[in-house]
Structure 1
């Protein structure tokens, strides 16, 4: 063995220890702020995925859905029900994009920081409408029977459990326009919607072309593709928190003739 140590035998375990320390070095160089950035980015990405695929938060911008949904209530909308060809059903409370001219300017979406948070699902958004589905494709809606009830395919709806009380008990349950109208059959891929506060809801009924209107270009229907999802709960304020279901009265509505 030469004195210069060219044939010196080294300890393999010592090399392994050095390699382990070298592998650990990059992990030790992560600073607190870097970890916060990574975790924050992951949280935002997760929030976006949840918003796009599963659940989105909104607030109620008006009193059109009272008494069930009160102005400034925070609601959650789920999208899973309408996956894989599922469509809104009669009685569902849905959030949808403005079909065109239905929204007032003061119901616009928030801007600034609130708008940025809303974009990733971290702030309840406005800029949409929330109504109850009354008719689906093929349905005919009539206002009203001799007891003032809305009829769908000839079946009168018992809506006392969810609509607001009317000032005049003899009025039909759609007082924003005169009673005596018929809507439908609802076109394929579209919906006829109404607010629960019938005296203060600019819904499908307001956009009907009435018999005495000439050259009317209004459209009372909402495209299914514009529906964001189904309201399933109120989450704020705590005193209003509850789940939102589908009223039983819609179970007895028959399918439209010829379907």
Structure 2
């Protein structure tokens, strides 16, 4: 008997090829959707939650070393108040940093850096920011140094285990100072006390060495790179325990 039935759709010439092409197209589409969604989520996280910075100088040694990468919590100070001992990243209040020459890159590298920065995996603006430890909050009376070489906050002397000093040196600051932190500002210092251009040495700038709280990008939480340096960054609450909130 002769079979006069028409070929089914699955047996028509070219159907299998079309099906494969359609499968590849759907796969590529799904990959693009996943990539765009991941990029958007990363952008939102970087904008509102956390972002990465690298350390360009030795002012925070040995807590932080040059070229360490850190993760910064941007909820502080927006939603979480800053506390004494926090290591914070902040925008230049004006006059702290020397003008930076524009970085020249070829278009491909610039595009890659832009994408990496957008998702918080690179920090091309690290050189436009500073990182220091918060010592004085608004209203605090910060002085240095007492006969033991210690700094005091609201008349309470501090024993600071995070400070790096030259061999044989006991004074935690090369120069004496006596300041009261204005409202809405912070007094910040580097852990590498004899190699840090911090609040002490910016008193001739417009902000007189104080950092507006509004300039704070966030609190440094962890060293994320290199992996051999991975560590949470301590704010040493025991150092500042018992200090009155303000004296005025």
3-state SS, counterpart of residue 196 of structure 1? coil
Gaps of at least 5 residues in structure 1 are: 1-26, 210-215
3-state SS, counterpart of residue 66 of structure 1? coil
Contact 2:158 2:240 (C-alpha < 8 Å) held by counterparts:
yes
Q: What residue number does 1:122 align with?
A: 121
Residues 131 and 47 (structure 1 numbering): CA distance in 2 closer, same or farther, change over 3 Å? same
3-state SS, counterpart of residue 134 of structure 1? strand
1:82 positional shift = 2.9
1:104 positional shift = 3.5
In 2, distance between residues paired with 1:246 and 1:37? 42
**Comparing 245-254 with 127-136, which one deviates more in the overlay?**
245-254
**Correspondence for 1:55 among 50, 59, 81:** 50
In 2, distance between residues paired with 1:115 and 1:101? 27
Gaps of at least 5 residues in structure 2 are: 1-21
**Correspondence for 1:100 among 86, 94, 104:** 94
In 1, distance between residues paired with 2:184 and 2:49? 22
Q: How high is the TM-score relative to the length of structure 2?
A: 0.80
Q: How high is the TM-score relative to the length of structure 1?
A: 0.77
Contact 2:77 2:213 (C-alpha < 8 Å) held by counterparts:
no
**Correspondence for 1:236 among 225, 232, 243:** 225
In 2, distance between residues paired with 1:146 and 1:107? 44
1:32 positional shift = 3.2
Q: What residue number does 2:12 align with?
A: none
1:134 positional shift = 0.5
How many residue pairs get aligned? The number is 219
Q: What residue number does 1:37 align with?
A: 32
Q: What residue number does 1:183 align with?
A: 179
In 1, distance between residues paired with 2:103 and 2:217? 15
In 2, distance between residues paired with 1:47 and 1:138? 38
- Structure number with bigger Rg: 1
Superposition CA RMSD, Å: 2.4
3-state SS, counterpart of residue 234 of structure 1? strand
Q: What residue number does 2:242 align with?
A: 252
1:77 positional shift = 0.8
Contact 1:87 1:224 (C-alpha < 8 Å) held by counterparts:
no
1:115 positional shift = 4.1
CA deviations 1:157-202 (Å, max 9, x no partner) are 101x2111224424x2122xx32x2111x11111010000011111
Q: What residue number does 2:163 align with?
A: 163
In 2, distance between residues paired with 1:121 and 1:217? 31
